[in-house]
Structure formats: C-alpha cells, structure tokens
Amino acid sequence: MHYPKLLEKLREIGESTVIRKKSHVAYQGEVPRYAYYILDGSLKAYVISPDGNETIADIYSRHTVVPVAWLNRTSPTAIFYYEALSDVRAIRFSRQEFERVIVEDEQAKSDYMNYLASAQTAQLFRNAGLCQSTAERKICYTLYQLVYRYGVERGAGEFMIPIPLTHEIIGNFIGQSRENTAKTVKKLSNEQLFTYESKTYSVNLPRLENYLGEEGFRELIAS
C-alpha cells in the first residue's frame, strides 16, 4: 500500500535521510524533532519493562509514518522507543509543515486518512493474534498482519515480508521466549505455511488462511 499524493507533498516539505541500523529516531518520553515517512527498511517501536525486558509494540516498514501519536497531537511526546532494524531510507518532516499540507491538499489528506485506516486494520489483526491461546496461532496472526501491511507478492500465493525477522524479534512481538519461538517457527515451517532464510519470511498465503480458518480474511490482502 502506498500513498502517492501524500508522498509527493512530503518530498516537497521534507528532506531525504538515512537512519542507520540500531539508531533511534525517537525516545520514549521525549519530544521528537521530526516525523518520518519510511521509503524502505524497517523500524520497531518498543517499551522496556522495569526488569529490562523489551516488548515490541509495532514494526514499521515501507510507506508508514512514525511517530503518529505525536504527529497527530494525541501525545506531546513519543510514547515508544523507535529503533531501526535495518538501514532505513526515509523522508523527515516537521509537524507544522505536515499540518499545513493536510489542511491545504485534500488528496494528501485523503491519503493520510487511508493510511490510518490501513494501520488500524493491521492493528486489529495484531490484537486478535495476541488473544490467541497458543504460540502457533500468535505467530500465524503476526505473519498475516505483516503480509497484509507489507507483503510483496511473488506469485502462486507467495508473499515475501521485507523485514529482517529474527526469532528474538518475533518473540518480543508476541510475548514469547526466543527459544520457544524458534521451536514454534520450525514446526510451522515444516507444515509448509512459510519458508524463511536469512531472516526473510516467504508466506504461503492460502495455506496460512486455511490454518487460521478465518473466512472473513480471504481476499482482504488482494483488495
């Protein structure tokens, strides 16, 4: 999913930048200087518990905007840490200039509203996944969410997720240990729901949908 008019206007008001792997674009509790439209690469938004454990709240890749809560004035500060999982190409822009664009350009505003709606749908998949009773279904819902939001179609029902997903990242995303996640991923891979190599997952969407058994999901990604 991409948003051509919004991207065009952000290129006009912003500047291109590269965020290096493991660098932060915003810190929890601090006021960001800029928001970012991601062109390629990926970021994670996360919190750290009092005992030092990391929990990933969301993962962002191509054609997403961060940090939205601050950008929309829902929060005066960043509510998560935002760290690059890989080198990221992005456009950075000020909140003031963004607000001017949204007021003045109806198509850019429509693109942004469509982006928020798509992000909300993806978040519903994530919420449903976290409510599942088994690690297998949590992982499958997570992969479905990432395919819906970022999947690159390879043909014959195969979708590649352009995000470097380690067992640790998936575990932190669903609240499971790295060891348990690794065992579960291997089991699901043996069932031919997906393949993975060098942190890259290729999902067989028809098989994943059959595994989840949610008829209402069918055709959603294709649409």
Return the structure tokens found at 57. Answer: 């709240």
Q: For residue 8, how many other CB atoms are within 10 A of its CB?
A: 14
CA distance 169 to 204: 21
- pLDDT beneath 70: ranges in the chain: 214-223
CA distance 20 to 42: 10
Contacts (Cβ under 8 Å, ≥6 apart) of 58: 44, 45, 80, 123, 126
Alpha helices in 14-59 (DSSP H): none
pLDDT score of 213: 86
Is residue 37 within 8 A of residue 93, CB to CB? The reply is yes
pLDDT score of 131: 94
pLDDT score of 121: 92
Q: Which of these, 125, 118, 176, lies nearest to 2 by C-alpha position?
A: 118
CA distance 79 to 67: 8
Q: Rounded to the nearest 5°, which phi and psi values hold at 100?
A: -65, -45
CA distance 6 to 23: 26
Collapsed DSSP state (helix, strand, coil) of residue 131: coil
Q: What is the pLDDT of residues 21-40, one digit of tens each?
A: 999 999 999 999 999 999 99
pLDDT score of 215: 60
Domains of the chain, earliest start first: 4-114 (2.60.120.10), 132-217 (1.10.10.10)
Question: Going along the chain, which residue ranges are E strands?
Answer: 15-19, 24-26, 35-40, 43-48, 54-60, 65-66, 81-84, 88-93, 152-155, 158-161, 194-197, 200-204
pTM of the model: 0.91
CA distance 96 to 117: 22
DSSP 118: H
Q: Which of these, 30, 37, 41, lies nearest to 11 by C-alpha position?
A: 37
65-66, strands of its sheet edge to edge: 15-19, 88-93, 35-40, 65-66
